[in-house]
Amino acid sequence: MISFFKALNPLNILWLAVILFISRIGFILVSQDKTTFAFAEPVARLLISPGNFLNPGSTGTNILLAGIVVFAQALLLNHLVNHHNLLGKPTFLPALMYITLSGLFTPFLVLSPPLLCNFLIIWMLFKLFSFYKSNDAKSAAFDLGMMIAIGTIIYLPFIYFFLALCVALIIFRPLNWREILAGVVGYVTIFFFLAVYYYMNESLGQFYSIWLPLGTKFPDSINIHYYSFLVLVPVVVILSLCFVKLQQNFFKSYVQIRKSFQLLFVVFLIASLSFYVKTPFNLNHFLLCAVPCSVFFSYYFLYAKNKWFYESLYLLLLISIIYFQFNKF
């Protein structure tokens, strides 16, 4: 299967749809509960009055909508990777890996704010990677600041992706405080108008309270069912093999590619560690890790030598996702 997706064949789009369907049809059949979708954080409650289209009711409808979103994001991510030549050759592996990882846990299968924020992460990466060849990044930094603010309105932990903007400016360009300031101004612009709207609705106190979760202490432990750790075993193995492969080829790559993977690693760390801001804790937060992880996985599978090993490893990952996700313990 991996070998088939290594080529940039338009027929792979159909196979992506098949894999997306297979990885979700079981949950649609066994789940009887209704699901709801909280579109926005409390910061946007005065702006948005969720209607029935945001709360589809049936799990099947919710998963169908989430599947459409995942499919679109997979194609966008694949275009991003090929456009910036991150893997050295055109391929459909990023789309395959994203669809696979987006089905890792049951909470990943339904609409959620982190899933929508992945659109913003992909859009941000398009602009961040362009810093390397840009003569002036102030306008792009301003746009990115606004994008991060919009992401914060949808999902509060997204605020920490402002660190990704700062790191990108340091990695790709000579340090210029004006460019960082442009990002800050872009971020503040959105919340300035939002604060004015809250003030006009005599709800300024609510606007202040939305920032209180940022003071949450980092948890000492995370309560996750044991089978969730089991499904992560192939994920950890593939990720470890990817970092080994990256280390072997790191200095053989172009400077822009090396810097891009450094930024992806920073994005992965930010997405992984910002979960504590959102209480109560939900596994769907880690959907934010799917974008950088998909690129890392693609790099390993594209350059792995032993076909029987990497094909078996991917098959193990896919089977474990289906088994542990669709069986109740």
Write the pLDDT tens digit of every residue in 111-170. 888 999 999 999 999 999 988 887 888 899 999 999 999 999 888 889 999 999 999 999
Indicate whether this model's pTM tops 0.85: yes
Residue whose C-alpha is closest to residue 172's, from 205, 141, 208: 141
3-state SS assignment for residue 119 = helix
Q: Which residues pair with 35 in a beta bridge?
A: 57
- List of the chain residues with pLDDT < 50: 50-53, 329
- Residue 308 has a pLDDT of 87
Kindly give, in sequence order, each residue whose CB lies less than 8 Å from that of residue 157, ignoring residues fewer than 6 positions away.
274, 275, 277, 278, 285, 288
User: In the structure encoding, which two tokens stand for residue 125, read together?
Assistant: 């990466």
- Residue 189 has a pLDDT of 93
- Residue 204 has a pLDDT of 73
User: How many domains does the chain fold into?
Assistant: 1
Residue whose C-alpha is closest to residue 27's, from 55, 71, 64: 64
What one-letter code names the amino acid at 301? F
Q: Tell me the residue range of the domain where 22 lies.
A: 2-325
Q: Do the beta carbons of residue 169 and residue 137 sit within 8 Å?
A: yes
Distances (CA, A) of 176 to 170, 171, 186, 292: 8, 12, 16, 26
- Residue 51 has a pLDDT of 47
Distances (CA, A) of 122 to 11, 34, 130: 23, 30, 13
